[in-house]
Amino acid sequence: MSSLSAKIKDAFDEPACDKNRGKDAKPRKEGCSKSLTPGAAAGGCAFDGAKIVLQPITDVAHLVHAPLACEGNSWDNRGAVSSGPTLWRTSFTTDLTELDLVMGQGERKLFKAIREIKHTYAPPAIFVYSTCVTALIGDDIEAVCKRATEKFGLAVVPINAPGLAGSKNLGNKLAAEALLDHVIGTVEPDDPGPYDINILGEFNLSGEFWLVKPLLDRLGIRVRACIPGDARYRDIASAHRARAAMMVCSTALISLARKMEERWDIPFFEGSFYGISDTSQALRNLVRLLVRKGADPEILERTETLIAQQEAIAWKKLESYRQRLQGKRVLLNTGGVKSWSVVHALMEIGIEIVGTSVKKSTVQDKERIKQVLKHDKHMFESMAARELYAMLSEHRADIMLSGGRTQFIALKAKTPWLDINQERQHPYAGYDGMVELVRQIDLAIHNPIWSQVRQPAPWDCQPDLIGELPCTRNETAYLFDEFACATAHEC
Q: Which residue, 171 or 201, has its beta carbon nearer to ligand SF4?
A: 171
Inter-helix orientation angle 363-373/338-347, to 10°: 20
Distances (CA, A) of 112 to 62, 63, 70, 119, 280: 15, 12, 19, 11, 50
User: What is the rounded CA–CA span in Å between residue 157 and residue 61?
Assistant: 10
Q: Which residue, 45 or 445, has its beta carbon nearer to ligand SF4?
A: 45
Q: Is there a contact between 337 and 253 (Cβ–Cβ < 8 Å)?
A: no
What own/partner pairs with CB < 8 Å and gap ≥ 24 does 144-148 have? Answer: 144/107, 144/110, 144/111, 144/114, 145/114, 147/111, 148/111, 148/114, 148/115
> E-assigned strands of 19-98?
61-64, 92-93
Q: 63 in helix, strand or coil? A: strand
Q: Which residue, 64 or 399, has its beta carbon nearer to ligand SF4?
A: 64
Q: Which residue, 75 or 210, has its beta carbon nearer to ligand SF4?
A: 75
Q: Which residue, 97 or 472, has its beta carbon nearer to ligand SF4?
A: 97
Q: Is there a contact between 229 and 253 (Cβ–Cβ < 8 Å)?
A: no
Give me the least distance between CB of 163 and ligand SF4, in Å please: 3
Give me the least distance between CB of 134 and ligand SF4, in Å please: 9
Give me the least distance between CB of 133 and ligand SF4, in Å please: 6
User: What is the rounded CA–CA span in Å between residue 62 and residue 39?
Assistant: 32
Q: Which residue, 168 or 412, has its beta carbon nearer to ligand SF4?
A: 168
Q: Which residue, 68 or 449, has its beta carbon nearer to ligand SF4?
A: 68
Q: Which residue, 3 or 447, has its beta carbon nearer to ligand SF4?
A: 3
User: Which residue minimizes CB distance to ligand SF4?
Assistant: 163
Binding site residues, ligand SF4, CB under 6 A: 45, 47-48, 66, 70, 131-132, 162-163
Pure H helices in 265-353:
276-292, 298-325, 338-347
Pure H helices in 78-225:
98-102, 106-121, 132-136, 141-152, 168-182, 213-218
Give me the least distance between CB of 174 and ligand SF4, in Å please: 12
Give me the least distance between CB of 252 and ligand SF4, in Å please: 18
Give me the least distance between CB of 129 and ligand SF4, in Å please: 8
Q: 417 in helix, strand or coil? A: strand
Give me the least distance between CB of 154 and ligand SF4, in Å please: 25
Phi-psi region of 39 (alpha: psi -120 to 50; beta: other; left: phi over 0): left
Give me the least distance between CB of 100 and ligand SF4, in Å please: 15
